[in-house]
Amino acid sequence: MEYEQIIFEKTDQIATITLNRPERLNALTWQMGKELWDTIMNVENDPEMRVTILTGKGRGFCAGADLSGGKSTFSGENRPKPDKNKPQTSNIQKYMNLNKPVIVAINGPAVGIGITMILPFDIRIASESARIGIVFNRRGVIPEIACPWILPRIIGISKAAELMLTGRIIDAKEALEFGLVSKVVPDDKLMDTARKIAEEIVLSAPVSVALTKKMLNLFLKETDILEAEKINSKYFWWTGKQPDAREGVISFLEKRKPNWKLKVPGDMPDF
């Protein structure tokens, strides 16, 4: 697939996806959304790729939905009424169920869907010039992509309520204080920092990373401690029987980089 609104690159087991509408501060269109999912699945299905970095071209990450087509462009005006009898596809679940980590490098504004669409991803870091706002209430609609479900689980209900109900825009420092991002770096260090985190993930065993990621997202739900420990023990038992467990110890003792045997997809356990 050729991409019109996305730049997609693969180097050294790390993919970089760049939203590419800088003249519109990378405002999201239906086309961009389709291309974004296609590139993410390209990485997911490539056994040689390990991590994705997502960022925006120019001086902004994503200034929300592109409303240049009028008020109904991304609003609910032209959407069909949800059918309660028809199984619904969960967009947030699609992103959370990915086996491979996604690091979001927020450069400049991330507003509206520009922030809610990246909440299901794994690691968010921001440049000092980043500005973040969940502004839906100020546009007469409500936060989407299950934001009221996932945001309190990331930053706590009081802080989530403050951001969603006021719709105010916060700077990178406050986003760090809220726990919405894990790191704030100078603008010119953003991509180097994201790349460094990705390289550190690549050092870990692919299937171990995938299973750890799966548990993190699974335990976001109301999983009690006994059930969580049961799942954790099952995954630990399985990984301990695999060749990567032996390779992890031997490479450590031999002071060399590990040569992991298992790959994702292909070698994931069937449970």
pLDDT per residue as tens digits for the range 124-158: 999 999 999 999 999 899 998 889 999 999 999 99
Q: What pLDDT does 223 receive?
A: 80
pLDDT in tens, 26-46: 999 999 999 999 999 999 999
Q: For the chain, which residues score pLDDT lower than 70?
A: 69-90
Nearest-angstrom CA–CA distance, 33 and 140: 23
Do β-strands 109-111 and 6-11 pair in parallel, antiparallel, or remain unpaired? unpaired
Nearest-angstrom CA–CA distance, 168 and 201: 34
Nearest-angstrom CA–CA distance, 178 and 40: 27
Q: What pLDDT does 134 receive?
A: 96
Q: What pLDDT does 72 receive?
A: 47
Supply angle C-alpha 137, 142, 144, rounded to 5. 130
Residue 13 one-letter amino acid: Q
Q: What pLDDT does 68 receive?
A: 78
Nearest in space to 119 (alpha carbons), one of 70, 175, 169, 177: 175
Q: Is the dihedral of CA 158, 162, 165, 169 positive or negative?
A: negative
Nearest-angstrom CA–CA distance, 81 and 120: 25
Give me the helix-helix angle, 206-218 and 225-240, nearest 10°. 170
Check: pTM over 0.85? Answer yes or no. Answer: yes
Nearest-angstrom CA–CA distance, 251 and 59: 42
Nearest-angstrom CA–CA distance, 15 and 12: 8
Nearest in space to 58 (alpha carbons), one of 107, 98, 17: 107
Residue 45 one-letter amino acid: N
Q: What pLDDT does 145 receive?
A: 87
Neighbours of 200 (CB within 10 A): 10
